Amino acid sequence: MTGPRYTQLAAALPSTVPFVGPETQERARGRTFAARLGANESVFGPSPRAIVAMEKAARDVWMYGDPENHDLREALAEHHGVPSENVVVGEGIDGLLGYLVRLLAAPGDPVVTSDGAYPTFNFHVAGYGGRLHKVPYAGDHEDPEALAAKAADTGAKLIYLANPDNPMGSWHDSDSVQRMIDAVPEGALLALDEAYLELAPDGTAPVIDPDDRRVIRLRTFSKGYGMAGARVGYAIAHRDLVAAFDKVRNHFGMCRTSQAGALAALGDQAYLAVVQETVAGARDELSRIARLNGLVPLPSATNFVTMDCGADGAFARKVLSELVSRDVFVRMPFIAPHDRCIRVSAGRPQDLAHFASALPEALAAARA
């Protein structure tokens, strides 16, 4: 018995994962976190209407979900003022990025992203054998001009840009993003990740043009809508690209309860407005806590605040480790110079109070 015969590509990939979940850390530590502020989840939860819809749908969970996601696609199309043939629904933005890379990146094909941007995209590219080309951030912002130039230089088929950005929380205005779309080279596609858009200032996103073949707009119910565990993402793109997803997507990948919950959440924009206000208040409080402890909070258009610890990555990792030892789950950027920071998600008053109590102790221990 020789066991499974992996492809040459799979055998060459490292045995790593992009994120170590809080549950994994809790099992290793032997206790739970008192403040879960590291995964950019919404501790404020989904709309009560979504909870009721999911509870009702759970009774029919013996049935597969609608493989066409018809009702949710129709509702999303109406919400955004586009035809439903321009909308595809999938298992979070992560799932949709995987399908997109599978459609466009053959082994050796060039793909462009920013050094330090969302790593799951990179894992998809590596998993299908694409060749990543990275450009540095411009300060704490992704650099649209550099991304477009690198795509032109390399003949890239796919370009990744997040707006607002994770892990820095920064953002570009709609005019800047539209200039990026206009600069996409012939034969390339911009994957515009707008996961945090519901939490960003007005004027962050350009108007959606469903007939534009140069861009696919990726959005989610994980952040503003508070449904990270339901895994519901969607994308808006030219109808031909949306149709191409049917060639590779998992047609029964969407859970029936998730479909129902997302549909109800989309219909409760009043609750979303409450969450937006609550997140803004939590960002202000996190910024206050950071400044009180001598850290520099970066401006944020997301549901987290990235805090400059004022030294290098080694020091920030000590701060993070000390916070974890005090039962506060946070994360930090991977790549220098951004790894001088820690990243703290918006939380409830009790979560922020625990963080505020632990941070000065963690800083003192890290400096010692």
State the pLDDT at residue 2. 80
Q: How far apart are CA 249 and CA 254, in angstroms?
A: 10
Q: Is 28 a residue whose pLDDT tops 80?
A: yes
Beta-bridge partners for 23: none
pLDDT tens digits for range 319-346? 999 999 999 999 999 999 999 999 999 9
pTM, 2 dp: 0.96
* Alpha-carbon torsion, ordered 54, 60, 66, 70, to 10 deg: -50
Round to the nearest angstrom and report the end-to-end CA distance of the chain.
Answer: 55
State the pLDDT at residue 189. 98
- Supply the CATH classification number for the domain 48-267: 3.40.640.10
Name the 3-class secondary structure at 213. Answer: coil
Residues of the chain with CATH 3.90.1150.10: 20-45+270-367
Residues of the chain with CATH 3.40.640.10: 48-267
In order of 66, 99, 157, 227, 325, the CA distances from 92 in angstroms are 16, 11, 22, 10, 31
pLDDT tens digits for range 262-282? 999 999 999 999 999 999 999
Q: How far apart are CA 358 and CA 76, in angstroms?
A: 42
In order of 117, 133, 185, 358, the CA distances from 154 in angstroms are 19, 8, 10, 47
Q: Is 368 a residue whose pLDDT tops 70?
A: yes
The per-residue DSSP string of 192-205 comes to EE-TTGGGSPTTSS
Q: Is 357 a residue whose pLDDT tops 90?
A: yes
R_g over Cα of the chain: 21
pLDDT tens digits for range 236-258? 999 999 999 999 999 999 999 99
Q: How far apart are CA 246 and CA 248, in angstroms?
A: 6
pLDDT tens digits for range 110-148? 999 999 999 999 999 999 999 999 999 999 999 999 999
Q: DSSP letter at 86?
A: G
Class of domain 20-45+270-367: alpha beta
pLDDT tens digits for range 63-72? 999 999 999 9
Residues in the chain: 368
Q: Is 174 a residue whose pLDDT tops 80?
A: yes
State the pLDDT at residue 18. 73
In order of 49, 228, 229, the CA distances from 45 in angstroms are 11, 9, 10
Q: How far apart are CA 308 and CA 291, in angstroms?
A: 10
**Average of pLDDT values for 75-99?**
98
Q: How far apart are CA 366 and CA 368, in angstroms?
A: 5
